């Protein structure tokens, strides 16, 4: 019986060194021989070895390393000129299978485990030096050759790279590897929706800590640390956190706007822009609207012209219009408002965590703990840059100035939700999230187009985290979504603004990997191909 794992025992490492010697000193004369018949790789301390165990024998191995310089950096002067753009790269080395164990089961098992490991680590590019005798094998797996041969006479290697897209194309053609996309645990839910999102283990652990009083010094420190993290994330001066959804944060903004004299302008090009209009109406705000069709970008020249022609006190818009995925430009609107003495308010609920956003020039901005900030739903917040005083004309729970006066805790706030949110902000890497979502989004778009599915949002003007698509006319989005949920794949489709237009969404927020995406796409294709709904 054989099994595959990451080497972590001393005896396993000793076996790795022996197999390394057999392959790269005796069989391939890349290194000199020695009496000990062991070869410790120069990058051993930084390698992760995926091994095939047959009882107490290492039958095969491959090493993964993500620290620069790579082995290929030392062999090619201009490595970056040969390889595609990426956010997280690894180098694969030392592929070796013991003589007598060189069969399909071992090689496929190693690469299946390798694929799962790379997906878990969110690598979006792998490079390798393939022996010239194995180049055909690597091409079959999806690797693409680049650059000149490297190495010495008797040990020549072809540099190659592998992207997720080329790997999945191969995986779809190969039954054995396709099966690795199937979950081994029927209870593993794949959450590809705006919320709830799948959270990291560290965030779950933080949530499960013992509750503490919101009046305690420990809680106050936790709150201040979380507020500081939000300010650092957004390059802003202040943040106030509330118990409630993002809708509550927008009500806070509407309440503050009700204290400002003059007319406002609300921009909308989707469902959530229309909701801002509803917020404004409920507070009897005086405002005009400027709209584009759903999914169409704003015309910033028209906006600037309208603001100059009228006398507006404030402007309010949504940065990421989740209904379509369209991404509206904070920087352009901040410049327009700044040059015309207009206060800028922004709904950032679906953008923070995936889009690097500078809010130093805004009056008020709303956000929430879920979605791309990847914690549990239940907390919302408002970002601001100037002190705001209490106002008794505003309901107590919507009086931002009252929260500020009370140092952020006038009312009960869950320490569990706050602890989880604080941990998520500590772990947050916006650039990595954006780059990973962009790479995954390319795969999703390509595959959906291959299925003949219409994608609603145009890529250059869209968030990398939201891909909205239209289900074929002969199918119903609700029925497709429910069928996917039976198979533990959860996309966004139940909201009225989606179901009315027969739309569904991938939301790339929280924890997900390439295997989750592959599984979801595979099952969507199954449902559409069978056309039984």
pLDDT at 181: 43
pLDDT at 120: 80
Helix (H) or strand (E) holding 166: helix 164-173
Residues 100 and 140 in one domain: yes
Quote the CA–CA distance of 6 and 260 in Å, as a whole number. 61
pLDDT at 459: 66
Residues 74 and 163 in one domain: yes
204 in any annotated domain: no
pLDDT at 183: 41
68 in any annotated domain: yes
Q: Position of tokens 């997906």?
A: 119
Out of 410, 427, 444, pick the residue that ends a domain: 427
Question: CA 305, 308, 309 angle in degrees (round to 5)?
Answer: 85
Residues 233 and 170 in one domain: no
Q: How many helices (H) and strands (E) does the chain have?
A: 18, 22
pLDDT at 146: 93
Structural domain for 439, as ranges = 190-198+430-530
Cβ atoms of 170 and 468 closer than 8 Å: no
Residues 368 and 486 in one domain: no
Out of 409, 427, 445, pick the residue that ends a domain: 427
List Cα–Cα distances, 305 to 232, 267, 302, 361, 362, in angstroms.
33, 14, 5, 20, 20
What average pLDDT values come out for the chain (533 residues) when binned by 10 residues?
88 94 89 92 95 89 94 89 89 91 84 83 89 80 89 83 72 48 55 93 95 94 97 98 97 98 96 97 97 92 94 97 93 96 98 96 97 96 96 95 90 96 96 89 89 81 92 86 92 94 94 86 82 48
Structure tokens at 451: 């299925």
List Cα–Cα distances, 42 to 71, 72, 430, in angstroms.
10, 13, 33
Residues 437 and 414 in one domain: no
CATH number of residue 164's parent domain: 3.40.630.30
Cβ atoms of 398 and 366 closer than 8 Å: no
Who contacts 531 (Cβ-Cβ below 8 Å, separation ≥6)?
474, 475
pLDDT at 170: 57
Structure tokens at 388: 């705001």
Who contacts 146 (Cβ-Cβ below 8 Å, separation ≥6)?
82, 83, 159, 160, 161
pLDDT at 172: 54
List Cα–Cα distances, 189 to 172, 200, 467, 481, in angstroms.
22, 14, 20, 14
Residues 118 and 243 in one domain: no
CATH number of residue 406's parent domain: 3.40.640.10
206 in any annotated domain: no
| Count of domains forming the chain | 3
Cβ atoms < 10 Å from Cβ of 211: 10
Across the chain, mean pLDDT equals: 90
265 in any annotated domain: yes
Residues 420 and 474 in one domain: no
Residues 170 and 290 in one domain: no
Cβ atoms of 212 and 415 closer than 8 Å: yes
Quick one: which of 261, 201, 232 has its CA closest to 420?
201
245 in any annotated domain: yes
Residue 173 — φ and ψ, nearest 5°? Answer: -90, -10
Quote the CA–CA distance of 181 and 3 in Å, as a whole number. 18
Cβ atoms of 467 and 506 closer than 8 Å: yes
515 in any annotated domain: yes
Residues 306 and 418 in one domain: yes
Cβ atoms of 253 and 345 closer than 8 Å: yes
Cβ atoms < 10 Å from Cβ of 327: 23
225 in any annotated domain: yes
Residues 270 and 404 in one domain: yes
CATH number of residue 525's parent domain: 3.90.1150.10
Out of 395, 427, 459, pick the residue that ends a domain: 427
- Strands (E) in 218-286, as ranges, are 238-243, 263-268
449 in any annotated domain: yes
Dump pLDDT digits (tens) for 296-326.
999 999 999 999 999 999 999 999 999 989 9
Dump pLDDT digits (tens) for 89-103.
999 999 999 988 888
Structure tokens at 86: 């990426």
Structure tokens at 92: 């694969």
List Cα–Cα distances, 455 to 78, 468, 503, in angstroms.
38, 6, 9
Residues 80 and 169 in one domain: yes
Residues 174 and 233 in one domain: no
Quick one: which of 293, 287, 321, 319 has its CA closest to 306?
287
Structure tokens at 419: 């602890």
């Amino acid at each position: 019986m054989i099994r595959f794992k990451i080497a972590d025992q001393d005896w396993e490492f000793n076996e790795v060194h022996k197999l390394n010697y057999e392959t790269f000193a005796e069989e391939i004369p890349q290194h000199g021989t020695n009496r000990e018949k062991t070869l410790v790789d120069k990058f051993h301390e930084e390698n992760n070895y995926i091994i095939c165990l047959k009882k107490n024998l290492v039958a095969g191995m491959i090493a993964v390393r993500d620290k620069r310089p790579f082995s290929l950096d030392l062999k090619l002067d201009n490595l970056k000129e040969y390889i595609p753009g990426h956010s997280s790269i690894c180098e694969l080395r030392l592929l070796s299978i013991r003589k007598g164990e060189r069969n399909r089961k071992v090689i496929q098992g190693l690469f299946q485990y390798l694929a799962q490991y790379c997906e878990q680590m969110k690598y979006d590019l792998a490079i390798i030096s393939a022996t010239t005798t194995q180049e055909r094998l690597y091409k079959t797996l999806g690797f693409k050759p680049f650059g000149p041969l490297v190495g010495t006479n008797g040990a020549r290697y072809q540099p190659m790279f592998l992207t997720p897209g080329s790997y999945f194309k191969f995986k779809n053609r190969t039954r054995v590897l396709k099966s690795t996309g199937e979950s081994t645990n029927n209870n593993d839910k794949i959450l590809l929706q705006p919320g709830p999102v799948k959270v990291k283990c560290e965030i779950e652990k933080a949530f499960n800590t013992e509750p503490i009083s919101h009046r305690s010094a420990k809680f106050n420190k936790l709150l201040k640390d979380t507020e500081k993290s939000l300010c650092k994330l957004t390059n802003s001066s202040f943040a106030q956190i509330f118990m409630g959804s993002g809708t509550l944060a927008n009500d806070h903004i509407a309440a503050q706007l009700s204290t400002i004299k003059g007319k406002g302008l609300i921009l909308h090009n989707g469902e959530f822009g229309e909701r801002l209009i509803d917020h404004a109406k409920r507070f009897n705000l005086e405002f005009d609207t400027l709209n584009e069709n759903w999914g169409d970008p704003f015309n910033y020249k028209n906006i600037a012209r309208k603001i100059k022609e009228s006398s507006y006190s404030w402007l309010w818009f949504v940065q990421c219009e989740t209904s379509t995925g369209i991404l509206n430009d904070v920087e352009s609107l901040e410049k327009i408002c700044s040059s015309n003495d207009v206060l800028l308010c922004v709904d950032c609920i679906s953008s923070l965590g995936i889009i690097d956003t500078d809010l130093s020039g805004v009056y008020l901005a709303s956000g929430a703990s879920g979605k791309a900030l990847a914690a549990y739903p239940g907390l919302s917040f408002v970002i601001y840059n100037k002190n705001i005083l209490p106002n008794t004309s505003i309901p107590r729970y919507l009086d931002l100035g009252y929260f500020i006066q009370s140092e952020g805790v006038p009312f009960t706030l869950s320490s569990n939700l706050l602890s989880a949110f604080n941990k998520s902000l500590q772990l947050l890497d916006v650039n990595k999230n954006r780059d990973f979502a962009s790479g995954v989004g390319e795969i999703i778009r390509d595959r959906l187009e291959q299925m003949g599915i219409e994608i609603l949002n145009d890529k250059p003007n869209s968030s990398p985290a939201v891909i909205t698509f239209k289900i074929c006319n002969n199918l119903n989005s609700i029925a497709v979504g429910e069928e996917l949920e039976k198979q533990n794949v959860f996309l966004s489709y139940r909201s009225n603004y989606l179901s009315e237009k027969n739309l569904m969404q991938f939301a790339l927020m929280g924890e997900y990997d390439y295997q989750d995406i592959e599984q979801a796409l595979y099952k969507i294709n199954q449902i559409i191909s069978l056309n039984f709904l």
